[in-house]
């Protein structure tokens, strides 16, 4: 009674295995060495970017890291020999960049918009900051403002801020966290742990 079912299951598993094998075969195979994802034959070497950097749009599959069974994707608009990304998972998405590239700082990106976002099952923006004076003050405070310790408890609200540059870097975001606490309102960098107070700059954009 069960033999046809077993045969059908075996055929299905074999077909899926063949499909996965053919998919990985057409991708650039990467290995991991000395802190980089590499393919020596194709002269490719990628570093993992800090979590500040996020793809604006994920494209086609490009590479495969077999040891961890990870597929890496193109970032739409960028050369995959220079930039790759994991499957999109919000601010936890890891971007990879060619070792010859120097990542831009926030001010070097010259952001023209800031998307104020909620991270849930789907990341979505509740508002967009387009005022160049506000954006400039946020950037200046983050890079040059006095350090203020990020409170560990008592948050009233938190949002993810995605800084975006229409001209210089339209294909990636630079992420910072906004937090409002009884102690004040802060910008926070999850990578460097840098935190600064920003006063009421975003009062018209968060609620």
pLDDT at 26 over 50: yes
Number of C-beta neighbours around residue 170 at 10 A: 16
Band the pLDDT of 98: cuts 50, 70, 90.
very high
pLDDT (average), residues 5-12: 45
> Quick one: which of 185, 181, 183 has its CA closest to 202?
185
Band the pLDDT of 121: cuts 50, 70, 90.
low
Please state, for a pLDDT cut of 70, what percent of the chain lies above it: 87
Band the pLDDT of 156: cuts 50, 70, 90.
very high
Band the pLDDT of 123: cuts 50, 70, 90.
confident
Which pLDDT score, from 0 to 100, does residue 92 have?
A: 87
For all residues of the chain together, what is the average pLDDT? 90
65 strand-pairing partners: 30, 70
pLDDT tens-digit readout, 30-64: 999 999 999 999 999 999 999 999 999 999 999 99
- What gap in Å lies between CA 26 and CA 147, rounded to an integer? 48
> Quick one: which of 176, 180, 206, 181 has its CA closest to 194?
176
Lowest mean pLDDT among 97-106, 113-122, 131-140: 113-122
DSSP 140: H
In the chain, domain spans? 24-98, 106-197
Six token digits for residue 142: 């983050």
* Phi, psi angles (nearest 5°) of residue 88: -65, 130
Q: Which residue has the tokens 């060495």?
A: 33
pLDDT at 174 over 80: yes
Cα diameter, the chain: 74
Q: What is the pTM of this model?
A: 0.85
> Quick one: which of 75, 66, 65 has its CA closest to 95?
75
pLDDT at 19 over 50: no
Q: Is 68 helix (H, G, I), strand (E, B) or coil?
A: helix
Which pLDDT score, from 0 to 100, does residue 206 have?
A: 95
Six token digits for residue 159: 């949002």
pLDDT (average), residues 100-113: 97
Query: Does 199 or 5 have the greater pLDDT score?
Result: 199
Which pLDDT score, from 0 to 100, does residue 122 have?
A: 73
């Amino acid at each position: 009674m069960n033999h046809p079912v077993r045969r059908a299951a075996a055929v299905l598993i074999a077909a899926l295995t063949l499909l996965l094998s053919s998919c990985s075969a057409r991708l650039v195979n990467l290995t991991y060495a000395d802190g980089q994802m590499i393919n020596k034959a194709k002269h490719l070497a990628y570093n993992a970017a800090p979590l500040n950097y996020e793809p604006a749009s994920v494209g086609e599959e490009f590479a495969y890291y077999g040891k961890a069974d990870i597929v890496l994707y193109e970032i739409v608009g960028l050369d995959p020999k220079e930039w790759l990304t994991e499957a999109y998972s919000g601010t936890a998405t890891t971007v990879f960049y060619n070792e010859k590239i120097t990542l831009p700082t926030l001010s070097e990106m010259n952001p023209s918009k800031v998307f104020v976002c909620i991270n849930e099952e789907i990341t979505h923006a509740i508002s967009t900051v387009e005022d160049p004076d506000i954006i400039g003050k946020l950037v200046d405070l983050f890079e040059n403002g006095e350090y203020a310790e990020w409170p560990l408890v008592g948050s009233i609200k938190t949002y993810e801020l995605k800084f975006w540059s229409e001209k210089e870097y339209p294909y990636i975001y630079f992420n910072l966290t906004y937090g409002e606490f009884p102690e004040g309102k802060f910008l926070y960098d999850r990578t460097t742990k840098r935190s600064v107070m920003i006063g009421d700059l975003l009062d018209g954009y968060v609620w």
